[in-house]
Structure 1
């Protein structure tokens, strides 16, 4: 597994980052309860297998159920061999941002909870979870994260964004070493931030590269409300061939073909998904001609590509 620099942090990460939400809580298409999840023992085995096969970058969060705890048990004796990114608890209560006076204690408490769960005395990357414009503009939050870095409690700061405008703002502030953002064949809006991030030494970690599995065999027989989406997905199969044997490989290598991308985050909760991800990150990328063709196949109405809304509407079941 090839490793890439994580921006200007000095941290090297595997091209595939192990997304830890699925091992901690019910998440994703077809997962309705804990009966659909791995046992803790099997999840730890999966994490060990991922690390031994070359993945060193593992992503989790305070809000991912038992994910931090499971990773802590898996990596307590392998801590120097892995890079762990986790995310702070949410700063909002009843939809409102916590008062400035409460923010630093809240952040410190979240850090300490993560350290205990992960069984470590430092975090490689500590991130904002769902960083909106108001949060990104708050100086108290930025200062609290910076102080944690100065104290070496964390090695790098990060922000998880949703809208391209939020990513642009996060890069502009200069407060965040890493941005985790959604980007895929269908929705390429965040690409406008790639060059600026590279110039400022900000590491980019891509999530939603498979759109919760829609850019795979799961992207068939979708809800009638997603008929146009399903038709568009079928159009990507004209790029599938010898170099890209299937749609997930095409989608993942598309994201890895951008030089300013450090890693692609893949949700993994089955051994077969792990081996598929490992095979995908084979060091082969798109040529400029292939990349240009893929960039032209973005979905014509990206604002419609709102997976949380689709989930709430029951369109992903």
Structure 2
């Protein structure tokens, strides 16, 4: 996996108090294992009790009564460097899930083979690479935002997948090209409803140019299933109603093994003290789940010297 270095200050919001703590590697220098962690404690409040502020998929959030459920999380990660070629990573993450609990979940558990400086492969459970910021979006201090923009990052309610991927990196003159192909399956709980994504396949391509510019494009598709008892009951009733078009309507809203796709494009400029980011994403499904388009633009300026932060993927 890549070792990324960030020098960004996380902005503060008036309604949110957050801080992050990082545990440095604990293992001895001659050990094959290393231990690290990250955490965020946040409190959120709004000016109304008629609606709740939540991150996409969360059943509990903030009203006039402040809540720590939206942003608070704790992660622990163990890395094992077996030799020059093989390594393994496991990460356990506790945050409010789709059931409204903080039950720790296995977020990562994969083995990696670095066949050459340019080619690597992983097998197991990995972070879902659907967005420009995917692997470290839960690591608060490694991000410019207080939380990822939900108009984009809330479109796909899964954070990991079980399967494998292959990555390739090469230099094209002064540019660096990164390619990734992946396949597997995933499942998640969205506001108490089970969601499954089978036959998941996708790719990502990015190119790093001179001047701190990075361009990215990605696409994935899967068979989507939403396991809702009330929805299945409604579909069954419509299919039995002896009215023209009723059965067709039931088939249209049925969410069992329906094709779903997600496509994203992004650009980042990171030069001196300036940072600019933008993403445009599209979700399309053949079920009752609506088609969506989302985008954001972020512009930032660092005050003072960059804050060196190391994050081991």
TM-score, normalised to structure 1's length? 0.28
Larger strand percent:
2
Greater relative contact order (CA < 8 Å, ≥ 6 in sequence): 1
Larger helix percent:
1
From the CA coordinates, give the structure whose radius of gyration is larger.
2
